[in-house]
Structure 1
């Protein structure tokens, strides 16, 4: 866990300390420590110039009315109502003529994924 993330979100530092103290400790809900503030920081950490997601939203358009959107997202996470959208599979040509697959996710899914990375670190 990076020091700046631990300082910004003390709950993650407490979880990290508890896990280090007892390696047998089990966590049954990794979404619980995610807060609106963490989701906002995850949103701001995303690449602003990335292509639109499968939901048709880019960084700037999602940022309009950001606070209510993040509150709703946090409520869905904590209420077990959040469902990630299907990933769109796209094949990108390589220099040698072959193709490689990439997955395009929704912007909301990217936000949740980044927050979960911080929880898992």
Structure 2
């Protein structure tokens, strides 16, 4: 599936990222990476296809929760985020066709609220004996 990862897809994946996100573990901001984007994604593409690309270890930070516990959060490098977004794009294109219309989990453009709305319509429009 690696042949689907192209410099154009990597550039699209870059622009799909949040511009105002905090800098990654590599210290690179979105705006800094955008300068020389063509060269950067061409180099990234070459490293991916030659096997030279290695993901940078994420930095672990903990976010406090309201109940006093902490939620772990991994901070990735900007290039890792670009590669991850590109892989998500390719996998979504492949597997989206296999999902049934009533599947909502982790699908683009669908949320738990959409699932609840569909469930409400189904419960009101027909007799239901059980729900999984």
TM-score (norm 2): 0.68
| Residue of structure 2 in register with 1:84 after alignment | 55
Question: Is 1:39 matched with 2:10?
Answer: yes
Question: Using the alignment, how far apart are the partners of 1:33 and 1:50 within structure 2?
Answer: 27
- Give the number of aligned pairs: 92
Gapped regions of structure 2 (runs ≥ 5): 93-132
Return 5+ residue gaps in structure 1 as ranges. Answer: 1-29
Say which one has the larger Rg: 2
In structure 1, distance between residues paired with 2:50 and 2:90: 18
Secondary structure of the equivalent of 2:63? strand
User: TM-score w.r.t. structure 1 length?
Assistant: 0.74
Give 1:33 deviation, angstroms. Answer: 1.3
In structure 1, the partner of 2:66 is: 95
By relative contact order (CA 8 Å, sep 6+), the higher-ranking structure is: 1
What is the aligned-residue RMSD (CA, Å)? 0.7
